[in-house]
């Protein structure tokens, strides 16, 4: 439900900050896991490890959320909520952001390379804001649009690495896949916000539905289609990576829960504006855990991202006035 008090708006801001921070941490932890055995030794995982990793990540995330519902004695309402209109939109959002968004993201990297893919998909917050305006009637002032664009440019500059290889014949296929991925991620925030709009499905229930739907889709469709076999799944099960994926999924599901709570209280537009800061936090955590040096480019990009988010989300009192109207 939309925030009705100033303290609830500030709480939504805090959830938004935490969503970006913890997703940056989740990204780094996944990167560390995928740079170790068995992802570097199994031929199957070398080629399709991201899909297998996503399968386990969302599966363990679904497990953590189910446990939360059990502890809070809300698990009995899960099946009935799945059959509702709001539950349907949560499932749809899960498919758009999870299997569809991530699968096309990987196809984009394969066909167009990481530089083009990162640049195009970094624009998903702007698409999210535009879609929120069309479908949710959320409005963002000109200052907010300027801040969002500034933030996106900071993310693009931070993540862009020029390709050293020649242009591939599948470049345009990859660009199309990247555009589909960006739309999938943008639509997830809008569709899930719509699913939680009535208040009948709260963020915790919505996220549980999301993770279960994504896990089932990865296991029954994505892994068989893109991997061709469950050999990679077996390789992970019998390795030490399974335990680390379990812990990393806890970080990831907390990030998603924070994002859903932010969307629910301050709207999809501001929710995605906070969430896109994950690229900044990923650099910070990468330096802490892996090592690295600060550069002028990094400092400037961080200032652009933080300044852009401040302009995009505005003052808490503005959000409260919008919700009242």
Q: Give the residue, 129 or 204, on which the prediction is more confident.
A: 204
Residue 308 covered by a domain = yes
Q: How far apart are CA 70 and CA 61, in angstroms?
A: 14
Instruction: Write out the residue range of the structural domain in which residue 58 sits.
Output: 6-324
What is the pLDDT at residue 224?
A: 94
Residue 167 has pLDDT above 60, yes or no: no
Q: What is the mean pLDDT of the chain?
A: 87
Does 1 fall in a domain? no
Inform me whether the pLDDT recorded for 166 exceeds 70. no
Total domain count, the chain: 1
CB 97 within 8 A of CB 128: no
Residue 294 lies in a domain: yes
The pLDDT assigned to 113 comes to 74
Cβ–Cβ < 8 Å for 3, 313? no
pLDDT at residue 1 is higher than 60: no
Predicted pLDDT of residue 84: 92
Per the omega criterion (within 30 degrees of 0), is the bond before 147 cis?
A: no
- pLDDT value for 252: 94
pLDDT at 161: 66
Q: Residue 214 domain-assigned?
A: yes
The predicted structure's pLDDT at residue 125: 83
Match 């933030």 to its residue by tokens: 151
Does any domain span residue 171? yes
Does 47 fall in a domain? yes
List CB contacts of 38: < 8 A, sequence separation 6 or more: 45, 235, 236, 239, 241
Mean pLDDT to the nearest integer, 254-260: 95
- Tell me which residue of 96, 262, 259, 65 sits closest to 186, measured CA to CA: 96
168: in domain: yes
The overall pTM is greater than 0.85: yes
* Confidence grade of residue 223 (pLDDT, cut at 50, 70, 90): very high
Does residue 234 surpass a pLDDT of 90? yes
> Is residue 57 one of the residues assigned to a domain?
yes
> Which residues neighbour 41 within 8 Å (Cβ) at sequence distance 6 or greater?
none
């Amino acid at each position: 439900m939309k925030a009705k008090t100033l303290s609830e708006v500030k709480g939504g801001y805090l959830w938004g900050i935490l969503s970006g921070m913890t997703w940056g941490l989740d990204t780094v932890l996944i990167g560390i896991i995928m740079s170790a055995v068995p992802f570097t030794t199994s031929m199957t995982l070398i080629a399709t490890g991201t899909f297998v990793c996503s399968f386990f990540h969302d599966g363990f995330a679904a497990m953590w959320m189910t446990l939360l519902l059990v502890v809070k004695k809300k698990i009995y309402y899960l099946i009935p909520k799945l059959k509702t209109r709001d539950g349907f939109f949560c499932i749809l959002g899960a498919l758009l952001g999870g299997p569809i968004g991530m699968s096309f993201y990987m196809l984009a990297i394969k066909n167009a390379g990481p530089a083009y893919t990162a640049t195009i998909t970094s624009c998903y917050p702007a698409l999210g804001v535009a879609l929120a305006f069309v479908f949710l009637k959320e409005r963002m002032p000109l200052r907010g649009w300027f801040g969002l664009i500034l933030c996106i440019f900071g993310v693009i500059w931070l993540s862009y690495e020029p390709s050293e290889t020649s242009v591939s014949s599948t470049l345009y296929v990859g660009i199309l896949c990247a555009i589909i991925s960006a739309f999938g991620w943008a639509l997830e925030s809008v569709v899930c916000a719509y699913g939680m709009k009535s208040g009948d499905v709260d963020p915790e229930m919505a996220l549980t539905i999301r993770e279960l739907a994504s896990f089932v889709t990865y296991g029954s469709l994505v892994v068989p289609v893109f991997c061709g076999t469950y050999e990679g799944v077996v390789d992970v099960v019998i390795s030490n990576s399974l335990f680390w994926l379990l812990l990393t999924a806890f970080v990831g599901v907390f990030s998603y829960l924070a994002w859903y709570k932010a969307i629910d209280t301050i709207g999809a537009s501001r929710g995605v504006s906070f969430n896109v800061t994950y690229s900044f936090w990923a650099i910070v955590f990468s330096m802490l855990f892996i090592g690295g040096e600060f550069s002028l480019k990094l400092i400037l990009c961080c200032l652009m991202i933080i300044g852009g988010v401040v302009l995009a989300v505005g003052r808490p009192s503005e959000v409260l006035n919008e919700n009242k109207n």
